[in-house]
């Protein structure tokens, strides 16, 4: 799924567009005990309650593709009888009215979701009548020829509200506030089937994670059974390893800076495209060559790439580039540079020592105080 397709499904979570037919929930305590189960028609919910659920489902389809939202495919064995895909299809086709399937689904999550506190599993069934589109990309609501039937699962932590004082209007006094158990924004979730090319894709699932470094492999393997991609944090670490191993001891500041600048240029060129920029081995090789990596260093690139990432792996450009910061670190000093002005930094040998040189044309602040770079010599008395 790309950005436009994710946004198209997100648009359904409003009172005017609501396509949700049924909502089910299971409240689980810190001992993994089911404390509450519910199931009802979504349209029977009070309006204010429905709005709160809309916010949760929108959040489950939010974040960056390739970082918080991960497109996954089912391996062939999971599409066979008894596989995870077949189970999810049964759950979808039941329209969440089969209690035994629901119990099995909850049990799978409880067994494999790693969370030490209370949480709330929310599962919805929805049917979206996909409008056709003309050559001008405008939606034609009277030209639909497919209904997208899907499930969304959101796993939300439940925590006590903060202790404090509150105003009691009835008694006109300040008193201790009653602490409530609050359902927070989702930590994990998924959409099944995927909505690919604006159509039902039973071979794929869109997985949501609040923290990109915490994918929870057991949850993915046991509940979804889909092929798990490399996390955004792992992609960054892998890319850094590829750079270090390719450049070796001869890696210099200018070459590394050029690599990151080239990456940022690629991201900027494709920023309006719905799909995130994926880079395979050939793409990364071109970036290195265009950034000044020597022919001698490039001789070991393919071996280095395959050892770190795998021959057929792809890396998402936004996951491996630093678009918001450019840090230079030594054991005792950290320099933070605007990524657009990394060219200001130079490396020189001064008095036989490696030095980082930063030209200063404007003012300098030291702990918020304007200072001069060089002390003015005092005039002779």
Q: By percentage, how much of the chain surpasses pLDDT 70?
A: 93
Give the integer Cα–Cα distance in Å for 236 and 214.
14
Residue 84 lies in a domain: yes
- Shared domain check, 200 and 69: yes
Give the integer Cα–Cα distance in Å for 238 and 242.
6
Residue 379 lies in a domain: no
- Shared domain check, 214 and 340: no
Place of tokens 């991609």: 229
pLDDT tens per residue, range 10-59: 999 999 999 999 999 999 999 999 999 999 999 999 999 999 999 999 99
Residue 27 lies in a domain: yes
pLDDT tens per residue, range 170-218: 999 999 988 889 999 999 999 999 999 999 999 999 999 999 989 999 9
Read off the DSSP letter of residue 213: T
- Shared domain check, 133 and 54: yes
List the one residue out of 27, 63, 78 whose CA is nearest residue 316: 63
Q: By percentage, how much of the chain surpasses pLDDT 90?
A: 57
Average per-residue pLDDT in the chain?
89
- Other Cβ atoms less than 10 A from the Cβ of 104: the count is 13
- Shared domain check, 339 and 314: no
- Shared domain check, 115 and 246: no
pLDDT tens per residue, range 88-141: 999 999 999 999 999 999 999 999 999 999 999 999 999 999 987 765 556 665
| pLDDT of 156 above 90 | yes
Residue 9 lies in a domain: yes
Q: Residue 343 is part of which domain span?
A: 326-371
- Output the DSSP codes for 293-330: --HHHHTTHHHHHHHHT-TT--EEHHHHS-SS-EEEE-
- Tally of domains in the chain: 3
Q: How many residues does the chain have?
A: 381
Give the integer Cα–Cα distance in Å for 184 and 352.
57
Q: Are 11 and 17 in contact (CB under 8 A)?
A: yes
| pLDDT of 379 above 70 | no
Q: Identify which has the larger pLDDT, 270 or 312.
A: 270
Q: What pLDDT is attached to residue 365?
A: 77
Q: What pLDDT is attached to residue 260?
A: 86
Q: Identify which has the larger pLDDT, 347 or 83.
A: 83
Q: pLDDT category, 378, cuts 50, 70, 90?
A: low
Q: What pLDDT is attached to residue 7?
A: 95
Residue 85 lies in a domain: yes
Residue 380 lies in a domain: no
- H or E stretch including 165? strand 165-168
Query: Could you tell me the two tokens for 193?
Result: 């089937």
| pLDDT of 381 above 60 | no
- Shared domain check, 313 and 336: no
* Residues in contact with 299: Cβ distance below 8 Å, sequence separation at least 6, in sequence order: none
Q: Are 356 and 346 in contact (CB under 8 A)?
A: yes
Q: What pLDDT is attached to residue 134?
A: 63
Q: pLDDT category, 364, cuts 50, 70, 90?
A: confident
* Residues in contact with 276: Cβ distance below 8 Å, sequence separation at least 6, in sequence order: 64, 65, 66, 316, 317, 318
From 320, 340, 361, the end of a domain falls on 320
Q: Are 5 and 21 in contact (CB under 8 A)?
A: no
* Residues in contact with 210: Cβ distance below 8 Å, sequence separation at least 6, in sequence order: 63, 68, 185, 186, 187, 188
| pLDDT of 333 above 60 | yes
| pLDDT of 374 above 80 | no
- Shared domain check, 180 and 87: yes
Give the integer Cα–Cα distance in Å for 96 and 254.
58
- Shared domain check, 333 and 220: no
Q: What pLDDT is attached to residue 137?
A: 58
Sign of CA pseudo-dihedral 97, 99, 101, 105: positive
Q: What pLDDT is attached to residue 108?
A: 96
| pLDDT of 158 above 60 | yes
Q: pLDDT category, 338, cuts 50, 70, 90?
A: confident
- Shared domain check, 106 and 32: yes
- Shared domain check, 138 and 21: yes
Q: What pLDDT is attached to residue 254?
A: 83
- Shared domain check, 277 and 200: no
Q: What pLDDT is attached to residue 22?
A: 97
Q: Are 117 and 159 in contact (CB under 8 A)?
A: yes
- Shared domain check, 355 and 245: no
Residue 135 lies in a domain: yes
Instruction: State residue 171 phi and psi, 5-degree precision.
Output: -95, -5
Q: Are 288 and 298 in contact (CB under 8 A)?
A: yes
From 227, 252, 268, the end of a domain falls on 227
Q: Identify which has the larger pLDDT, 30 or 336.
A: 30
Residue 376 lies in a domain: no
pTM: 0.82
From 320, 341, 360, the end of a domain falls on 320
């Amino acid at each position: 799924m790309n950005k436009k397709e994710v946004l198209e499904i997100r648009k359904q979570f409003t009172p005017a567009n609501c396509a949700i037919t049924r909502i089910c929930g299971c409240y689980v305590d810190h001992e993994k005990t089911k404390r509450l189960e519910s199931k009802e028609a979504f349209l029977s919910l009070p309006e204010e309650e429905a709005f709160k659920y809309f916010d949760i489902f929108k959040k489950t389809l939010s974040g960056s593709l390739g970082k918080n939202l991960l497109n996954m495919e089912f391996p062939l064995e999971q599409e066979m009888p008894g596989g995870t895909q077949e189970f999810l299809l049964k759950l979808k086709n039941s329209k969440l009215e089969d209690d035994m399937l629901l119990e099995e689904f909850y049990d799978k999550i409880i067994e494999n979701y790693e969370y030490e506190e209370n949480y709330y599993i929310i599962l919805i069934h929805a049917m979206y009548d996909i409008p056709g589109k003309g050559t001008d990309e405008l939606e034609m609501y009277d030209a639909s020829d497919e209904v997208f039937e899907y499930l969304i699962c959101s796993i939300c932590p439940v925590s006590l509200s903060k202790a404090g004082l509150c105003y009691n209007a009835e008694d006109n006094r300040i008193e201790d506030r009653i602490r409530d158990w609050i359902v927070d924004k989702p930590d994990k979730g998924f959409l099944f089937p995927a909505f690919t090319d604006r159509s039902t894709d039973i071979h794929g699932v869109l997985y949501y994670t609040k923290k990109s470094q915490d994918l929870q492999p057991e949850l993915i393997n046991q509940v979804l059974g889909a092929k798990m991609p490399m996390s955004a944090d792992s992609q960054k670490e892998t890319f850094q390893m590829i750079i270090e191993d390719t450049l070796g001891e001869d890696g210099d500041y200018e070459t590394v800076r050029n690599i990151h600048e080239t990456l940022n240029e690629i991201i900027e060129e494709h920023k309006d495209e719905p799909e995130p920029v994926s880079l395979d081995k050939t793409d990364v090789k071109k970036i290195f060559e265009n950034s000044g990596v020597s022919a001698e260093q490039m001789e070991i690139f393919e071996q280095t790439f395959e050892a770190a990432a795998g021959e057929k792996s792809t890396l998402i450009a936004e996951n491996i580039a630093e678009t918001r910061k450019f840090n230079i670190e030594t054991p005792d000093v950290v320099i933070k540079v605007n990524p657009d002005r990394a060219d200001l930094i130079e490396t020189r040998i001064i008095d036989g020592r490696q030095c980082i040189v930063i030209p200063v044309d404007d003012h300098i602040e030291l702990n918020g105080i304007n200072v001069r770079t060089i002390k003015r010599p005092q005039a002779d008395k």
